[in-house]
Amino acid sequence: MAAPFTLPALPWADNALDPVISANTMSFHHGKHHKAYVDNLNKLVEGTPMADQSLEAIIQASAGDASKAGLFNNSAQIWNHTFFWHSMAPNAGGKPTGKVAELIDRDLGGYDKFKEEFAKAAMGRFGSGWAWLSLKDGKLVISSTPNAETPLTAGATPLLTIDVWEHAYYLDHQNRRADFVNAVIDKLLNWNFASENLAKG
């Protein structure tokens, strides 16, 4: 994604994930939260050398630098949210097949264990953040990051993510984060997208 940055379109209709995620939630989550990160980043990079850099380059250049916290938070949140939309698809979820399934068996102890640990990563994140399935050093790993943090800055290749910021689920599930997380895993996880990312990694 090149600057000046624009709000990426959703890869499906705003009501396509209903009832797990409603069009009402998407109107706020994509149309307001995601858009705000784009607007903020454009203001921050205007007139600077970063205005010509990719989103990933800005994330890497600003990670861990307190003086660039605004740049990092907004650029990483644009990337994380775009990645999250593609991590889901209508009528998806369930067990993967192919290379991803093989690696889940090899590295994570099988699909049932993956599901348990992925849900635990999402549920165990105190406050706002993300649960991730990534490829690092040739192996699949499950992790959780706070706020805008992303495995990109830790030398990993993200395959899938679940957003556990409250605005991701509160309108539809109120405080029942577990219901949201399990429904995303069972009904929405986009294993085709995970396979595409695995091939890149």
| Residue 199 · residue 105 · CB < 8 Å | no
| Spatial contact of 148 and 40, defined as CB atoms under 8 Å apart | no
Q: State the pLDDT at residue 169.
A: 78
Q: What is the CATH number of the domain that holds 112?
A: 3.55.40.20
Q: Of the residues 55, 86, 117, which one is the last residue of a structural domain? A: 86
Helices 191-200 and 98-108, axial angle in degrees (round to 10): 80
114 within a domain of the structure (yes/no):
yes
Averaged over 99-126, what is the pLDDT?
A: 97
Domain count along the chain: 2
Q: Categorize the per-residue pLDDT at 4 as very low, low, confident or very high, splitting at 50, 70 and 90.
A: confident
Residue 137, C-beta contacts closer than 8 angstroms, at least 6 positions apart: none
Of 64, 86, 108, the position where a domain reaches its end is: 86
pLDDT at 34 over 60: yes
Say if 31 falls within a structural domain: yes
- What's the CA gap between 110 and 90, in Å, rounded? 24
What is the spatial distance between Cα 137 and Cα 158, in angstroms, rounded to a whole number?
Answer: 12
pTM as predicted:
0.95
- Structural domain span for residue 134: 98-200
Residue 3 has pLDDT above 70, yes or no: no
Same domain, residue pair 188 and 107 = yes
Q: Do 80 and 148 reside in the same domain of the chain?
A: no
